[in-house]
Structure 1
């Protein structure tokens, strides 16, 4: 490889440690003779007809990234724009590339002299990276660093995804505070936690903080109901009362909403449309699962002549761009460093 030019793209949602990956990758790449270009806002501009290199990309150097591993967020920002053919997903479960977008990105990278591409993101970003690699052939090497605070990617040796440890750390502290408030005021909290495809984050926060009850999608069948989920919550409240405790914190993984059905079923239950994100996933923030459960549980207590105050709270966005813990800083710097080593071994990844 004569002139080595690396491009970096960050896609999906924020996760603590992104900057640590970027920083270590840039430093190692420059030390190995690469020129490094970062692209703002994921694939948003690269696959747009309005792409303007001076505006939508930046040359990265060691001075710019030397201390960014301490910071949350992403210096390249982020977006959920991907290169998947989302229209085909409406009629098929086979994920296909969007030929126009993929072709546009490959062409742009070639024009900019990018011969190595590092992507950081979740499953949609990983698929987009794969489609680019297949379209570009031997002209472009790609390496992908998986990212999600949900910890729903099966990594080798059961390694957690980066950002998960930080999200767990801060989330546990928030749950602890809510438990103290619950005990002080003598009331119940229904707390929704992020986790679209898996309940790892909710379960781990619940175990760490000692939440009264934690509900995750893995413990319910594919076609559960609000009533079935409410059975568990009502039972927990009653059992707690028998123990002389009127307070409690129920932690609910947001992905539990998918156990109520697909997008069409969710829309039927809500009586309105459910928006989807850029990747075609129903926006779980638009599905008021906790409110539906609160109404169901309160109705049951009213039927017994009781008033049951329940407070709703959501934990999620405040975890995604938190400053990484030392664990995630070290982990992510290692990921960034070794991603560049992969480019150097002469194979396409």
Structure 2
């Protein structure tokens, strides 16, 4: 019997529990014992782990977050201590659920001979080796739902609504969430924003029958200094708030525009996972267990369409993937 230690590294994302469930069920089928490690590598170092059986995972498919807990801690200086713990518990391979922090941990451990398989779990969907990561579909659904709700009050009060999303610097959440929710303009770190175009689009809408706008802005997007200086006290404002004040300054006198700001924050990260997140989590985790059974470690699992892929570890795993150019261009058809 092989023993696998499953743990989460980085932020939680909806669908991780589906992956844990799949790993345990497939592991039992292949005579592999799965140990759940609490709170990532911090839990491993404090000996907080237990064997997981079917009863432990029988009712977690629909639950958000992670039953194991997680942490942002990545072993670097004390990787040898992690290796000692892995050997102490007879763990033949780790199954790491995470995004770029998980990839970093996997590479660090590979360098000292600690086997692992990485399953991508991040709402940002910005890992270069996979089309989709666990949690992305749910986050996009939350953005879409928020825009649907804000649409009615924006239209009723003739306001510009600034909606801030997570996902920097890839731009995936803002772009796909904004496109599916009918945003009138989307600003991400994936390209240089055109503020002349933004003002012209809002102006054109107010001159016509659409006297409101929904503007989606990726959190922490870098703004040109000339835009910042248009707004008093910009040092204390978020990028989204600066954009709102800039719009107001340019258009309030002519159109009487008011703006409101909504930061979706952690609302994007929680809740019951969408169907696709459950499916890809189940697929990738089961495949990861099968790889470990065959001794195929030091690989990341990914998806290309509906097909599972296996990617050898390399430093390129740490690269982020910006949103697809065609999708970003597609949004402009609706401006």
For this structure pair, what is the TM-score category when the shorter chain's length is used for normalisation?
A: 0.7 to 0.9
Does 2:214 correspond to 1:249?
yes
In the other structure, the counterpart of 1:281 is none
Asked if structure 1 preserves the Cα contact closer than 8 Å seen for 2:5 and 2:37, the reply is yes
2:284 corresponds to which of 318, 326, 335? 335
Written as runs of structure 1 = structure 2, the 5 A alignment for 1:228-247 is 230-247=195-212
| Superposed CA offset, 1:21-40 (max 9, x none) | 01100111122222222111
8 Å Cα contact 1:230/1:297 also seen in 2: no
Alignment partner for residue 85 of structure 2, among 104, 108, 126? Answer: 108
Residue pairs, 1:1-349, within 5 angstroms:
3-47=1-45, 51=46, 53=47, 56-83=48-75, 98=76, 100-135=77-112, 137=113, 140-156=114-130, 159-220=131-192, 230-257=195-222, 288-301=238-251, 304=253, 307-349=256-298
Paired with 1:230 and 1:295, the residues of 2 have a C-alpha distance of 13
The alignment partner of 1:44 has SS state of: helix
For residue 209 of structure 1, report the CA deviation from its aligned partner.
Answer: 1.6
Shift of 1:192: 0.6
In the TM superposition, residue 229 of structure 1 has moved relative to its aligned partner by: 5.5
SS of the residue corresponding to residue 37 of structure 1 reads strand
Measure, in 1, the Cα distance between the counterparts of 2:141 and 2:249.
Answer: 35
Shift of 1:305: 7.0
Q: Report the Cα distance in structure 1 between the residues aligned to 2:12 and 2:297, rounded to whole angstroms.
A: 27
Q: 2:24, 2:110 → 1: CA distance?
A: 21
Separation in 1, partners of 2:11, 2:234:
26
Q: Deviations over 1:225-248 (max 9, x none)?
A: xxx654443323212112133211
Measured in 2, the distance between the counterparts of 1:270 and 1:128 equals: 37
Q: Structure 1 residues 347, 206: closer, same or farther in 2, change over 3 A? A: closer
Calculate the TM-score normalised by the size of structure 2: 0.80
Contact 1:230 1:296 in 2 (8 A): no
Q: Structure 1 residues 182 and 270, CA, compared in 2 at 3 Å: closer, same or farther?
A: closer
* Counterparts in 2 of 1:319 and 1:40: CA distance versus 1, 3 Å: same
The count of aligned residue pairs is: 291
State the TM-score, normalizing by the size of structure 1: 0.77
Distance 2:278 2:239 in 1: 34
Contact 2:121–2:133 (Cα < 8 Å) also in 1: yes
State how far apart, in whole Å, the 1-side matches of 2:133 and 2:91 are. Answer: 27
**C-alpha separation in 2, matches of 1:122 and 1:4:** 25
Deviation at 1:134, TM superposition (A): 2.1
CA RMSD, 1 decimal: 2.3
Do the aligned partners of 2:158 and 2:257 also contact (CA within 8 Å) in 1? no
After the TM superposition, which of the residue ranges 336-345 and 197-206 deviates more from structure 2?
197-206
Equivalent pair of 1:26/1:60 in contact (CA under 8 Å): yes
Cα distance in 2 for residues equivalent to 1:347 and 1:305: 65
Q: Which structure shows the higher strand fraction?
A: 2
| Ranges in structure 2 where 5+ consecutive residues have no aligned partner | 226-232, 299-335
Contact 1:16 1:323 in 2 (8 A): yes
- Counterparts of 1:270 and 1:13, CA distance in 2: 29
